[in-house]
Amino acid sequence: MSATTVISQPNVAIGSSAAVRRGVLAMLPLLTGYVPFALVIGSACADHGAPLAGWTGSLLIFGGSAHLAAIRTLDSAGVAAAIFSGLLINARLVVYSASLARRWAGQPRWFRIAAAGLIIDPTWAAAEQHADRCPDPQEQRGYFLGAGLTLAAGWSGAIALGALIGPRLNGLDLQIVVPLCLLALVGSALRDAGSRRVIVVAAVVALLTVHWPAGTGLLMAIGAGAIAGLMHDRRRSS
């Protein structure tokens, strides 16, 4: 048997088992940091009296900020507002998907469909960093699937745990884990001057728009960071 795992056709090779393992190992530290965030969401589901529905939502809304915003908006503004809030916050995934689509233009269709549901902040960052180091498409497939499925399984399991033990978490101040998860995600990028500029601009705009409704401030921060990154790339190429 070759080092590459094949499902049924040569075109559906997942990638080497070593690439899958690298993806799993790369995601485990981030997953550890995201577990408290998932517990917060599970606890919020328990507080709303719908732990099962909240856990199911982890499979449909693969994004902590959007999931938490939808839960909190549900009681105060209704179902339509909750759905709109979740979609608006997760609109940033369109930018992530466009970025990876450029790298995955030559990937098989099955992979692009399967990977679409796994694109979120940490998996996008992991995929971008790995693609810079490893241009081989098969290795990128294996790495991303290993990382993405590890995060999805751990995230969903932690939300289920939070929903089960939700009342016991009330004495813990877990809300601080939301910004800590962001710091864990962007920390390694601070070594690069261009990345630092993007992060600082986005952070300042997010701070200034923190009270804007329904996640619009987050979209403004993403847009500002994208513009800062584009300007840096143009200056560097000129």
- The per-residue pLDDT for 228 is 74
Give dist(CA 205, CA 224) in Å, integer. Answer: 7
Q: What mean pLDDT is predicted for residues 32-46?
A: 80
The β-bridge partners of 4 are 16
* Band of pLDDT at residue 6, cut at 50, 70 and 90: very low
Give the tens place of pLDDT for each residue, 138-195. 999 999 999 999 999 998 888 888 888 766 665 455 555 555 555 555 555 555 666 6
Return the higher-pLDDT residue of 187 and 104.
Answer: 104
- Considering only 18-32, 88-102, 146-160, 166-180, which range has the smallest mean pLDDT? 166-180
CA within 13 Å, CB half, 80: 0
Single pTM value for the model: 0.69
Q: What mean pLDDT is predicted for residues 88-108?
A: 85
| Percent of the chain clearing pLDDT 90 (strictly above) | 15
Which helix (H) or strand (E) segment holds residue 141: the answer is helix 137-164
Give dist(CA 221, CA 199) in Å, integer. Answer: 9
Q: What mean pLDDT is predicted for residues 25-48?
A: 82
User: In whole angstroms, how large is the CA radius of gyration of the chain?
Assistant: 19
Give the tens place of pLDDT for each residue, 191-237. 566 667 766 777 788 778 777 765 566 667 767 776 777 676 677 76
- The per-residue pLDDT for 13 is 63
Q: What angle do CA 156, 162, 168 make, to 5 degrees?
A: 170
Give dist(CA 200, CA 225) in Å, integer. Answer: 8
